[in-house]
Structure formats: C-alpha cells, structure tokens
Amino acid sequence: MSSTQSFDVCVIGAGPGGYVAAIRAAQLGKKTCVIEREYLGGVCLNVGCIPSKAMISAAHFLEKLRNDAPEMGIEIKTDGKSTAKPVDINVNMKKLVTWKQSVSERMASGVAQLLKGNGVTVIRGEAEFSSANELKVRTSGDGKSDIITVTAKNFVVATGSRPIEIPGFTIDEQKVLSSTGALALDEVPKRMVVIGGGYIGLEIGSYLRKLGSEVVVLEAGATLLNGVADRECVQVVERKLKKGGVQVMFNAKAKSYKKNGSQYEIEYESVGKIEKIKCDKILLTVGRRPNSDQTGLKKIGVLIDERGFIKVDAQRRTNLKHIFAIGDIAGQPMLAHKASHEGVLVAEVISGINRAYDVKTVPAVVFTDPEIASAGLLESECTSRGYTELMISKFPFAANGRAVSLMETDGFIKIIADKKTHVVLGVHMVGPEVSNLISEAALAIEMGARVEDLAFTIHPHPTLGEVMMEAAEATLGHAIHVIQKPLSRAETANGATVTRT
C-alpha cells in the first residue's frame, strides 16, 4: 500500500537536533513532519547522554555511601553493628538498568508529547531520497510493511552518527559492546576491557568500576582524552582513575580477540610487542562516524567530505539549497547541544529569519570523576589564533567551602585571558559539578566579557560558582582565598608570553 504526503518541512531523524528543528518549524507556522526509524529523542536520549548520566549518577551515589557517609558520621548497619566502611551494599543490576530505562522512557514520552502538541506529524520508518524533492519511507507495524512517499519544500537531514568499529572487533552487543550494550548489562562484568580512552570509554568505564567491575583501558595514544580537554584537567582525572583502581595502558593498540574458557583474550600491541589480556566483556569506544552513507544522499548529489560529513554553509544548507543538515552529520563537534542549536537555526532560516551559525564557543563536558568542562580556546589554540600575550590563572576547589562540605575537592577552574584586553578566551574546569558551572563561562566568552566582569560579579555563598569568581580574581592577581605570588611570573610557552598565577 502506498500513499503520498506533502509538507513544508520534512525532518529526517528525531534526535536532539531533528526533533528541535521540527518543533521550531511548526511553531513558525510550517506544516512539518519528522521521520524516525528507531527512537524519538535519538541515540542521546535513549541509549547515550541521558541513560549514561543516570548510571553515572547511581554509581556516584553508591561511592558516596561506601566512602563518604561513614566519615560524615552516617553509619550504615549491616549485621547489627555499624561499620566504618560498608562494603556489602548490594547492586541489583537488573533493577538499576530498569530504573535507567524509565528515565529515558520518561524523556522520550515528553518528546512525543511536545511534537504532538506543536502539530508535528511523526512518521515511523526508514527514509531514503528517491529524488531531491521526494522521499520513500518504509514503515512497519502490525506485521505489515508499507511505502509512503513524502514530498517537501525543505528537508532537514539529522540522522546522526554510529560507533566506529576497528579490524578484529565487530560490535555485537554481546561480546563486543558499544555504549548501547554497556548501558543495558544484566550484571556487572567481573572484568571489562575498554578500547579507547576518549570520553565515552572513560565515562562508562568509571561507572562500571564503581559498581564493582575491574576495568582496564587500552589507549592507542600517549594520553587520555587527547585533544578533547585541557591537559592539566585531564591529569586530575588520570590520578583519580588510578586511585580508583582503573588500569590505563597507553600506546596499546588492540589487534584481535578470541574465546578463552569463560573469558575473552585480547591481543594488543604495546611498544612493538604483542601482549594479551583477559576479560568478560569488551567495550569498543574509539569514536563515532556520521551516517552520511544512508538516506540516499550521494544519489541525489549532496556533497560529502572525505570524513563523511555533509558539507554545509553558515546556514547549514547543503549544496542543494532546500536541503539542510544538522548535528553529528554536519561536522564537529559531535555534541547534542550543538545539534539542538542548529535545529532552531535551520527552522528559522527556512521560515525567512536571517540567521547563521556564528558561535564563539560550543561548551563541552566529560562526565568522568571528577567532571571536566571546557569553553573557548585551549592555550595552544590561543597562540594559533594570534594572541601573543596571555594571562592564565587557576583556582582550586580545595579552597572552596562548598566543595569541602561535599567532600569533593579535586580539581580547579582555569581562566585564559588576553593580557592586552583582559577578554576571556578560554575557561577549563575539572571538579565537582563543573558540567553545571561551565554555562557561565560559555556566556562570558559569547558576550566578549573581560576578566573583570567575572571577578566583579557577586557570586552567592557558599557555592561552587564562587570558584569562577576567584579564578578571575586570581588572573588579576588578587584572589582572596589562596596565597598568590606577585604577577611577575612570566614565561614563554607555545610562542606566547604567558603570565601564570
């Protein structure tokens, strides 16, 4: 059975970019549909960002009970006697996964209600362009399969990305897991090998370690989170991983694996030698690739670069002016909040509003322990952009009363500013709840704030946010709650004169 439906705007993919684009287009009076083959809310909401943070929160809560509660005087009784270190707290993995799933389902239900409430037509199925102005959508349900033809004046491609596989390791979600499989385990594996020291592997590896798994990370490079975050921030996380029992092997390239008894044996190359390691599960997290090889894009002439990203202009138009692309498929950074921003942008461009993608920063967060968050430029990037004189300061969470009361004092906030103008160029954080603190930094950079704007803004006490204010004060040489050396400590780094405090 076949039918034809026509729209002003057709969005392909209902992830954090697609569903936002569809809602905004409908708000602006456009007849809009969104086509989704799997989940409303996409990978992020269903098997990525939201469920992983739910599991990370649960693991963090468990660690606080085991380690911090007794020190606070909260005694957890086990067999009628209080214990200094309650080690017998049981983790019901199936129940935990059920709870995690309920969080995702609640959010997905909210997306469905928002789409319905804004009059967006939701079409469940897999779409492929049959021409530049027409899609064929294969739908299924009740044991039937139908083909629907969808035409539209404008199309928005928001089909996201998928995990990268490497030779010898095909993801089957049984032996070799992606993040999707790692978030749906029936039981905590005794030993997990994580291939890849990026943010996904470290986030999942960290929470599994807290739940009781022995975790080994094989990283092909010499550092974790290479190019993702400020090196000094990463060093804090590396120390905490080591303290927590996560074993990290650098310059280790996974080659193959095989069944060995009840476990799997991985062969990896390290410093020219072949080594072996056993585990119960393998987590492959070496990056993600855009889904540009799907949906028939090449067939209709949409230009795609050598990395698989769709080529777009500042309004997120492809070379076919009525077809737009947003989110992971439209280039780095591959982050949900960047996709949502682009979703609003393209809906408004389609509706005649003159907008362009013109942002100074896309903040990034890594939900390790402690968290890492960044906005703006790294020190090396400042130099490449032509800044020759920099002011750089750090203020530690250990000097903050709220952090002390939370028993989470690892880390700091670092501010990088142009010494000539005092304009904030970059802010990099590692510590408790920096995922929430980074928004202030992003706003400061976006509005071109000077260090004085942060230092002279009254921040409420006692809060973690005070560290931002004091880091700004430290940049100016007069932080109150640390003893500072005079601002004469200058050095040459990365081709720039740097004053560090």
Alpha-carbon distance of 42 to 108, in angstroms, equals 9
| CA angle at 99 for the pair 93 and 101, rounded to the nearest 5° | 100
Looking up tokens 């530690």, which residue turns up? 396
Instruction: Give the residue ranges of DSSP H helices in 222-377.
Output: 231-243, 336-350
Got the DSSP string for 111-137? Answer: HHHHHHHTTPEEEESEEEEEETTEEEE
Nearest of 30, 77, 9, 34 to residue 322 by alpha carbon:
9
Catalytic residue among 322, 422, 461, 478: 461
Q: What is the DSSP letter of 397?
A: G
Got the DSSP string for 274-313? Answer: EEEEEESEEEE-S-EEE-TTSTTTGGGT--B-TTSPBP--
Torsion (CA) 414, 367, 17, 148 in degrees, nearest 10: 160
- 490 Rama class: left (phi>0) / alpha (psi -120 to 50) / beta: beta
- From the centroid of its chain, how far is CA 238? 18
CB 395 within 8 A of CB 379: no
Structure tokens at 84: 């200094």
CB 141 within 8 A of CB 249: no
Nearest of 498, 494, 496, 442 to residue 475 by alpha carbon:
498
Alpha-carbon distance of 403 to 463, in angstroms, equals 8
Q: Give the list of residues 6+ apart from residue 371 with CB closer than 8 angstroms, or none.
A: 365, 429, 430, 431, 432, 433, 434, 435
C-alpha to C-alpha distances, 248 to 167, 198, 206, 245, 446, nearest whole angstrom: 21, 12, 12, 9, 36
Alpha-carbon distance of 56 to 350, in angstroms, equals 39
Residue 321 main-chain phi, psi, to 5 deg: -60, -20
CB 215 within 8 A of CB 194: yes
| Catalytic (active site) residue 461 | yes
Nearest of 142, 155, 145 to residue 1 by alpha carbon:
145
Structure tokens at 222: 């010499």
Active-site residue set:
461
